[in-house]
Amino acid sequence: MNHYIKKFSPLLILLGSIGVFVIMVKLKPEAEFQKPEVTHQLVEVLLALPQDVEAKISSQGTIRPEHEIVVTSEVTGKVTWISDGLRDGANFDDGDTLLKIEKRDYELALISMESNLFQARVALQREKAESELANIEWKRVGTGDASSLTLREPQLAQARAVLAAAEAAYEQSKRSLQRTSIVAPFNGRVRKKTVDLGTNLFPGNRIADIYATSFLEVRLPITDKDISFLGIPLDGAMLKKRDRPKVRLIASYGGEDFEAEGFVVRSESEIDPKTRMISVIATIPNKNNARSLKVGMFVNAEIIGLSYPNIIIVPRNAVKEDMVWVVQEEKLRRKSVEVLRFEDDYAFITDGLLMNDQVLITRLSSYVDGMPVRTR
């Protein structure tokens, strides 16, 4: 008996295990089936609100003088005095005397011309008297019409010509004397002085390069895609004051920020063959203080262009090939739009969106028309 038990005990154990497993499976409660929950992706939207906007055109340039001239000598002579205002980089005011040329010879010449003028006036008065006397005498003893020679008309005409020449010589001598002093024609600054005390000057000799500081200007290149938004003619003509677009200029130098405002006064009339851009010229009133822009500064410019009504502004990355996604009834919908222009990180949309449309601005891994989403 024990022999049979030992022989079949493994089989009995296996059968018992199978029986226990079957009973456990039968008695295990069935798990309830749960329908998987569908979650809508949370997205961010921008409400479409039409508004009036002004186009802003960006450019860059270097500040330069609006007026710059070369001062030259108009007379011959030696430099006898130079103002402190006539130094490289120095400022001066309108009417300041900048330099003097030895003037004694011109003073003597003026005295001589004044004497000649006085003599010519006396000679004319004497000739008038003699001509009048000859006329009276002819009327007393002569008959018929007197000849011009009898009435001393040639002598009178010559006296008048001599006086005119003397007056011209006197005025010329007076101007030459005045030109021995070089006077500033405007408020300005010296770019470079080219003479020193004792320099012998002749007419046409260069004295200094100077420029006006009351107004500065900057040349601003504009791309072909932006030029139409300025709304100005491209013929180089000066614009009327009411038609001049405003310009905001920003510069940084020496750890300081500089700002100024000006106006576009004209365009250039030629396109740069290298850059394929046309430039506009802006002038900037100079406040002449430490915070003002300086000649030679590099500036970033923002030009205020034309104004456009009923524009919807959306982030630039919300527009894909003239199309945007909007959220309608918690589903994505695709809309075709017309873009007026892209400006910095934004797109100006003129058509295709309605007021209060919810424009999708969240970047998704995929976009499907009708895809469920939620905004909150």
The 10s digit of each residue's pLDDT in 101-147 is: 999 999 999 999 999 999 999 988 887 877 777 676 666 665 656 55
Task: Please tell me the predicted confidence (pLDDT) of residue 354.
Answer: 94
Nearest partner of 314 among 51, 132, 113, 3, judged by Cα: 51
Q: How many CB atoms lie within 10 A of CB 92?
A: 22
Q: Indicate if the pLDDT at residue 271 is higher than 70.
A: yes
> Can you name the CATH fold of 57-66+212-307?
Elongation Factor Tu (Ef-tu); domain 3 (2.40.30)
> Among 36-40, 169-173, 317-321, which stretch is predicted with the lowest mean pLDDT?
36-40
Q: With 60 as the cut, is the pLDDT of residue 151 above it? A: no
Distances (CA, A) of 78 to 195, 200, 268: 10, 4, 43
Which candidate, 58, 154, 166, places its Cα nearest to that of 116? Answer: 166
Residue 360 reports pLDDT greater than 70: yes
219: pLDDT strictly greater than 90: yes
pLDDT of 126: 85
The answer to whether domain 69-211 has CATH 2.40.50.100 is yes
Burial label, 353 (beta-carbon count in 10 A; 0-12, 13-18, 19+): buried
What Å distances lie between residue 217 and 62, 184, 294, CA to CA?
9, 21, 10
3-state secondary structure of 235: coil
**Cα separations in angstroms, 48 against 288, 331, 355:** 45, 17, 5
Delimiting residues of CATH 2.40.50.100 domain(s) in the chain: 69-211
Longest dimension (CA), the chain: 200
CB within 8 A of 231, min separation 6: which ones? 245, 305, 306
> Average of pLDDT values for 302-328?
94
Q: Give this prediction's pTM.
A: 0.73
- Confirm or reject CATH 2.40.420.20 for domain 45-55+309-374, answering yes or no: yes
Which residue intervals of the chain bear CATH 2.40.420.20? Answer: 45-55+309-374
Distance CA 200, CA 102 (A): 10
pLDDT in tens, 240-251: 999 999 999 999
Residue 300 has pLDDT above 90, yes or no: yes
Burial class (CB in 10 A: 0-12, 13-18, 19+), 159: buried
Q: How far apart are CA 332 and CA 341, in angstroms?
A: 25
Q: What is the pLDDT of residue 32?
A: 52
Question: What count of Cα atoms within 13 Å lies in the side-chain half-sphere of residue 82?
Answer: 17
Q: Are 260 and 249 in contact (CB under 8 A)?
A: yes
pLDDT of 9: 56
- Average pLDDT of the chain to the nearest whole number: 87
- Reference 262, options 89, 64, 90, 54; nearest CA is 64
User: Would you place residue 19 in the very low, low, confident or very high pLDDT band (cuts 50, 70, 90)?
Assistant: low
Percent of the chain topping pLDDT 90 = 70
- Quick one: how far is CA 245 from the chain centroid? 10
CA distance 139 to 141: 6
Q: What is the pLDDT of residue 376?
A: 79
pLDDT tens for residues 52-97?
A: 999 999 999 999 999 999 999 999 999 999 999 999 999 999 999 9
